[in-house]
Amino acid sequence: MDLRAALAAHRLVAVMRGTDPEASVRTVLTLAEEGVELIEVSLTGADALSVIERARKELGPDRPLGAGTVLTVEDARAARHAGADFAVTPALGDGIREANRLELPVLAGVLTPTEILAARSFGAAALKIFPAAEAGGPAYLKALRGPFPHEVFVPVGGVDEVAARAYLDAGATAVGVGSPLVGDAADGGDLTALRDRARAFLAVVRTVVRNTSSAGETS
């Protein structure tokens, strides 16, 4: 898949780490039903590889599905075998190069300018600013975009609806959202509440997309 294009088109990545495999599968499918196009299943969740395999069968081959917390060569291989389309990491490591070898585009975790440069050499398709809130929030992202105006940045960590809008306004290509979106759904929680949260986040990113398009048309 073209991860950079998908991030630019959809602007939202759901980050899921569940303690209940059955609920985790239901969560992935519910998010997809609500129109969340990019979903990451963290490998640190319960029976995560099976969750990816089962969700892939339900979603079909054309719906993007990612594996998160890909740290090692073995993680990358297992994610690929389970049916993941892209990999997400919290940092720079051997899993990135192996994922690239397996033709899995990588959203690689970085925090500093030095790590951004290193991520290029690792072959990362896009950059996950993590943990974004602790790093300084939208102001920090805006500062990074000065020397790196063409990078695809995806802030992750502490991103609620208000922060999502602020990050996108500050130049993020997309935002990654975990518990403020997923809540307890992947642990067996309320799927109706999950649907409500998904619609709220999608409304935010779609509004930003419309505003950006309108600005481009009038410039």
CATH label of the domain that carries residue 56:
3.20.20.70
Determine the Cα–Cα distance for residues 60 and 55; give it in Å rounded to an integer: 8
* Per-residue pLDDT reduced to its tens digit, 118-170: 999 999 999 999 999 999 999 999 999 999 999 999 999 999 999 999 999 99
**Cis amide bond preceding 131, omega within 30:** yes
Please give the residue range of the domain that contains residue 190. 3-218
Active site residue 40: yes
Please tell me the total count of domains within the chain. Answer: 1
pLDDT tens digit string along 174-199? 999 999 999 999 999 999 999 999 99
- pLDDT at residue 219 in the model: 42
The answer to whether residue 142 is catalytic is no
CB-CB contact of 64 with 1 (8 Å): yes
pLDDT at 102: 97
Q: Which of 33, 57, 58, 128 is catalytic?
A: 128
Check 40, 115, 134, 217 and give the catalytic one.
40
Q: So what's the pLDDT on residue 209?
A: 67
Residue 88 phi/psi, 5-degree rounding, is -130, 135
Tell me the average pLDDT of the chain.
Answer: 95
In this prediction the pTM is 0.94
